[in-house]
Amino acid sequence: MSETPPSWPTVSAVQAALTGRCPRCGKGRLFQGVLKVRDRCDVCGLDLRQSDVGDGAAVPALFLLGTIIVGLAFWVEFRFSPPLWVHAVVWPIVSVPLAILLIRPTKAALVAMQYRYRRSEMGL
């Protein structure tokens, strides 16, 4: 008798994005390190190597972040007129963590949407 696969709960892309969890079971961690997607879910065994979001997460996050950072840099320059070295020190310290904070949930959401809408193409 063949074994039926377990019934997995429906995990929304928003839930996967905010928690950084597996798009199938919602329990296993999606990321290994900061931005690298794991090869397999450590809970349900979902093969995450099939997910390829490419630059899909980075581009909108960096466009948004670039707009915000440039606007803030202009505001600081015209309001306080600091020396150039202040800009060179402050903006990388602000922008790198914000970029990671924006890219990580965006990447998780794209992996979850890819799992949901391309399951048959991925052989799942």
Give CA angle at 102 (64, 111), nearest 5°: 115
Q: State mean pLDDT over 22-36.
A: 93
Residue 54 CB-density burial (10 A; 0-12 exposed, 13-18 middle, 19+ buried)? exposed
Instruction: Give the DSSP letter of residue 50.
Output: G
pLDDT value of position 106 = 93
pLDDT for 123 equals 60
Give residue-wise pLDDT tens across range 60-81: 999 999 999 999 999 999 999 9
Instruction: Delimit the domains of the chain by residue range.
Output: 13-117
Query: How many helices (H) and strands (E) would you count in the chain?
Result: 3, 2
Tens-digit pLDDT profile for residues 100-123: 999 999 999 999 999 888 876 666
The tens digit of pLDDT for each residue in 79-101 reads 999 999 999 999 999 999 999 99
pLDDT score recorded for residue 52: 85
